[in-house]
Amino acid sequence: MSLDRIRASSARADSPLAAAVLAGEWIRSAAADDEHGRRWAANPDRRDGSAVTPEPWSLYSGASGIVLFFLELAAATGEEAYLEDAAAGARRLAATWREQGDLSLYHGLAGTMLALMEAGWALGEGGFESEAAAIADLIVRRGRESGTGSVGWSRDPAQRGEGGIILGLLRAAAHLGVPAYEEAAVEAGLRIARLPVPGHQFGDCADLPVDAVTPGFLAGTSGTAFLLARLYGVTGDERFLLAARSGAAFVREVSVVTGGCAVVPHHVPHARGLHYLGFCSGSAGVARMFYELHRVGGDPGDLEWVERLARGVVKSGVPRRRTEGYWDVACQCCGTAGLVELFVGLWAATGERDHLEYARLLATDLIGRATGDDGRGYRWYQAYRRLRPREVSADTGYMVGAAGIGAALLHLDAAGRGDRPRRVILLPDNPFPVIPLPTSALR
Domain residue ranges of the chain, discontinuous segments joined by +: 16-416
Please work out, in degrees rounded to the nearest 5, the angle formed at the alpha carbon of residue 116 by the alpha carbons of 114 and 120. 120
Segment 379-391 shows an average pLDDT of 85
**Lowest-pLDDT range of 4-13, 155-164, 381-390:** 4-13
Banded model confidence at residue 197, pLDDT cuts 50, 70, 90 = confident
Segment 239-254 shows an average pLDDT of 96
**10 has pLDDT over 50:** no
Q: How large is the greatest C-alpha to C-alpha distance in the chain, in angstroms?
A: 62
Distances in Å between the Cα of 67 and the Cα atoms of 44, 199, 307, 338, 370 are: 17, 30, 32, 19, 22
Cis before 209 (ω within 30): no
> Whole-number mean pLDDT of the chain?
92
**Better pLDDT: 155 or 315:** 315
Contact 63, 89 (CB under 8 A): yes
Banded model confidence at residue 202, pLDDT cuts 50, 70, 90 = very low
Tell me, what's the pLDDT at 203?
A: 42
Banded model confidence at residue 204, pLDDT cuts 50, 70, 90 = low
Segment 210-231 shows an average pLDDT of 91
Segment 361-371 shows an average pLDDT of 96
Tell me, what's the pLDDT at 443?
A: 67
Segment 245-249 shows an average pLDDT of 96
Q: Closest by alpha carbon to 77, among 357, 341, 382, 414? A: 414
**Lowest-pLDDT range of 131-145, 149-163, 223-237:** 149-163
Tell me, what's the pLDDT at 205?
A: 62
**75 has pLDDT over 50:** yes
Tell me, what's the pLDDT at 2?
A: 34
Q: What tens digit of pLDDT does each residue of 305-362 get?
A: 999 999 999 999 999 998 888 888 999 999 999 999 999 999 999 999 999 999 999 9
Segment 67-80 shows an average pLDDT of 98
What pTM was estimated for this model as a whole?
Answer: 0.94
Contact 105, 59 (CB under 8 A): yes
Segment 368-383 shows an average pLDDT of 92
**Lowest-pLDDT range of 64-68, 141-145, 154-158:** 154-158
Tell me, what's the pLDDT at 212?
A: 78
Segment 144-172 shows an average pLDDT of 90
Tell me, what's the pLDDT at 206?
A: 63
Highest mean pLDDT pick, 106-120, 204-218, 372-386: 106-120
Tell me, what's the pLDDT at 442?
A: 76
Banded model confidence at residue 389, pLDDT cuts 50, 70, 90 = confident
**36 has pLDDT over 90:** yes
Beta bridge partners of 393: 382
**Better pLDDT: 183 or 442:** 183
Tell me, what's the pLDDT at 4?
A: 35
Tell me, what's the pLDDT at 268?
A: 82
Q: Closest by alpha carbon to 246, among 227, 225, 263? A: 225
Tell me how far apart the alpha carbons of residues 420 and 66 are, in angstroms, rounded to a whole number.
Answer: 24
Domain 16-416 architecture: Alpha/alpha barrel (1.50)
